[in-house]
Amino acid sequence: MNGKGEQFNTDQSPLSSQLRVPQLVGGLTRHDSKDKWRSAVLGERATVSSATASDESGALTEHVVRAFARIAAHSPGGSLIAAYVPARSEPGSIAMLDGLAACRARVLLPVTAPGNTLDWALYDPDQPLVAARYGLQEPGGTRLGMDALSEAELIIVPALAVDRQGVRLGRGAGYYDRALAVSPLQCPVIAIVRDSEFVAELPESPHDRRVDGVITPDLGLIRLD
């Protein structure tokens, strides 16, 4: 995490070598295909009860706000933090976005664009999100262009799984791989997953950008050095 700047100087410690990192049922390893991993994760998410999902969302909101509130508080104009609107079974909630906004953060949200790319727009807690393709919800405000992400001081991304080396498993369309290519290397990228989705090893492709940290409901923020 060296070189990531003051904005990532939280109280959380780097990943301990003694921390138990789970593996999904089925004994998948980095030698299994990404599609096999995606199928396993999505299958497990489909079994999560609404009560468990609600409890996990509440815990994630607390971790996100606790870890990153001071980023916004220390910026005169409010720091720009990129986040996402959880879709389907993705961990997280709108409350997480509201919590960041309440801390004076300007929250940047993705908007799907042609060519499997992401545009960006600011989140306004007072304005409803609008329905978009693939069952997503997006801000209805001004599109700021793909390069808007390059101004973010912190990027919070969804993931299907993350391993202890920072390898992130996405859904396979490449939206975030292309988006993160325009973000500065010193900008921390933090993925949010369920506890069972923070695993020992994942398959990795040459174009994958590793994340700098992970947040889970039970563990909170873990920095990945």
Beta strands in the chain (DSSP E): 80-82, 106-113, 117-122, 130-131, 137-138, 154-158, 161-163, 168-169, 189-192, 198-199, 213-216, 220-223
**Residue 104 assigned as binding residue:** no
Residue 123 annotated as part of some ligand binding site: no
Q: Is 171 annotated as a binding residue?
A: yes
Instruction: Tell me whether residue 176 is annotated as binding.
Output: yes
Please indicate if the annotation marks 214 as binding a ligand.
no
Q: Are 100 and 93 in contact (CB under 8 A)?
A: no
Task: Consult the annotation and say whether 175 binds a ligand.
Answer: yes
Check whether 38 is labelled as a binding-site residue: yes
Residue 37 is labelled as binding a ligand: yes
**Any known ligand binding at 147?**
no
> Does the annotation list 174 as a binding residue?
yes
- 173 known member of a binding site: yes
Measured in whole angstroms, the distance separating CA 157 from the mean position of its chain's CA atoms is 2
Question: Is 78 a known ligand-binding residue?
Answer: no
131: helix, strand or coil: strand
Instruction: Show the DSSP H helices in 162-217 as ranges.
Output: 175-180
Residue 144, annotated as binding a ligand: no
Is 172 annotated in a binding site? The answer is yes
List binding-site positions.
34-38, 85, 90, 168-176
Binding-site residue set for ATP: 34-38, 168-176
Binding-site residue positions for substrate: 85, 90
